[in-house]
Amino acid sequence: RFDIKAPYKQLQVRNLKLSDAGIYTCEYGSHKVHTSLHIFQLTLSMNGHFLQNEAPELILMQNSSGPLPELSITLFDSSNNRVTAELQNKNRQKYIVSLKKLKAVDSGTWVCQVHSDSSLINRNISFAVKVLGFQNPDLERKYATVDSTVILSWHLNSQKIKWKEDFTGQLNWKQQEGANTHELLDFNITAQGQLHETKKSSSFVFEIPERKPESTIEVKLPKVHFNHSGQYQCQLEYQGRHAQSKIELVVMKVSANPSGPLSRGANVTLTCQVSGLLPPSAYLRWERVNGTQMEGKNSKQQEAKLEVNISAAGLWSCHLIEDSDRKISLHYHVEEAPVWINYVIIGASVGGSLLAFALGCLCIISGVSWQRRRQRAKRMAQARQYLLENKTCQCQQ
């Protein structure tokens, strides 16, 4: 590992080790020149290969021929931002520094700045950090309406950071926390970046799109049902360690009761419902298209169901609004009953009223007639009894 480079008689030491620290002397005749070599060694846990949300540990060691100086350590990430780190061990020879949990965007070249006032040390040591993970947000929420088409995508950064190791993963779905988990597909990505997927579920209707960017996991729901909502979690595994990313699918549906045409003077109840609880800043709103402000109605925050009673036909819309932004809208057209139906309804109402009146009169007449017959029969019975009593008296005489 040691070479003399001519013509300047330079001593070259390759692959430095901590034990190479010390005093080096160059002798030329009666002349001697001394040079002190101070060596730093920086190592990173997991060989610098991490999954997202893992917290790395950095070890900095130093060796010198003289007393070891006290060092101050400052870290900068790949974006040249200063990183908050916690010093776990400090005994001048070995410094152990714990870093924050990493994200996929933290991949790149980091810098460890080593400084000492006593020995005039000011050294920048570069080191590579590779974080395998998802470029999606930590918790992504996607909204859809019933019968629409939805594509759920998870973007891995393995190609971007040139990850040279195989890793596997799977995609699971469950409707809510605590519910049974359904495995939708398995996948593995080779060191060359090739993606292979295997469909696992036969009961859940979904597709795997054929054309997609490399290192992108996609699931297509061609016709969303209300019960397709829930949590879709993509999980990858590398050397027994796991990282995951979750997409929450929220589905909206609308309905009317009664569902038929709206006749004049009648009311209909429109119901807008979403699956699961909404975030704190989200709410539902019913409003009539081209209608007035007074015809609109808002739900309470995080309320997953909103009903509105209406008497005006036309196009009504239910909006899901989050942070003043309309995420999805679903329309419902309330048809107005034709004029002849209104006449039929009016005629039926009038006819029904007349029929009821006639039936009432008939009942009254029948009652009066029955009452008269009853009174007549009663009088005849009394007269018969009277005659019988008189006849008996005459016989006794």
Question: What's the pLDDT tens digit per position in 271-312?
Answer: 999 998 888 889 999 998 887 777 789 998 888 999 999 888
| Token pair in block for residue 353 | 């009223």
Which residue pairs, CB below 8 angstroms and at least 24 apart, start in 34-40? 36/64, 36/65, 36/66, 37/64, 37/65, 38/62, 38/63, 38/64, 38/119, 38/121, 39/63, 39/64, 40/114, 40/123, 40/125
| Whole-number pLDDT of residue 215 | 83
- Three-class SS of residue 384? helix
Task: Work out the pLDDT band at 387, boundaries 50, 70, 90.
Answer: low
Decide: residue 143, CB within 10 A, 0-12 exposed, 13-18 middle, 19+ buried: buried
Q: Are 207 and 220 in contact (CB under 8 A)?
A: yes
CATH of 258-334, one of 2.70.150.10, 2.60.40.10, 3.40.50.10860, 3.90.1300.10: 2.60.40.10
Residue bearing the bigger pLDDT, 270 or 313 = 270
| Whole-number pLDDT of residue 348 | 58
**Closest Cα partner for 220 from 199, 237, 235?**
199
Separation of first and last alpha carbons in the chain = 167
**CATH (residue range 22-132):** 2.60.40.10
pLDDT tens for each residue of 181-229: 899 999 998 888 888 889 988 778 899 888 777 788 999 999 999 999 9
CATH of 140-251, one of 2.60.40.10, 3.40.605.10, 3.30.70.890, 2.60.40.150: 2.60.40.10
CA distance 357 to 344: 19
| Whole-number pLDDT of residue 365 | 78
| Whole-number pLDDT of residue 351 | 63
- Predicted model pTM: 0.75
CATH topology agreement for domains 140-251 and 258-334: yes
pLDDT tens for each residue of 327-369: 999 999 988 866 544 444 455 566 666 777 777 777 777 776 7
Question: What are the extents of the domains in the chain?
Answer: 22-132, 140-251, 258-334
Please state whether beta strands 241-257 and 268-274 pair in parallel, antiparallel, or not at all (unpaired).
antiparallel
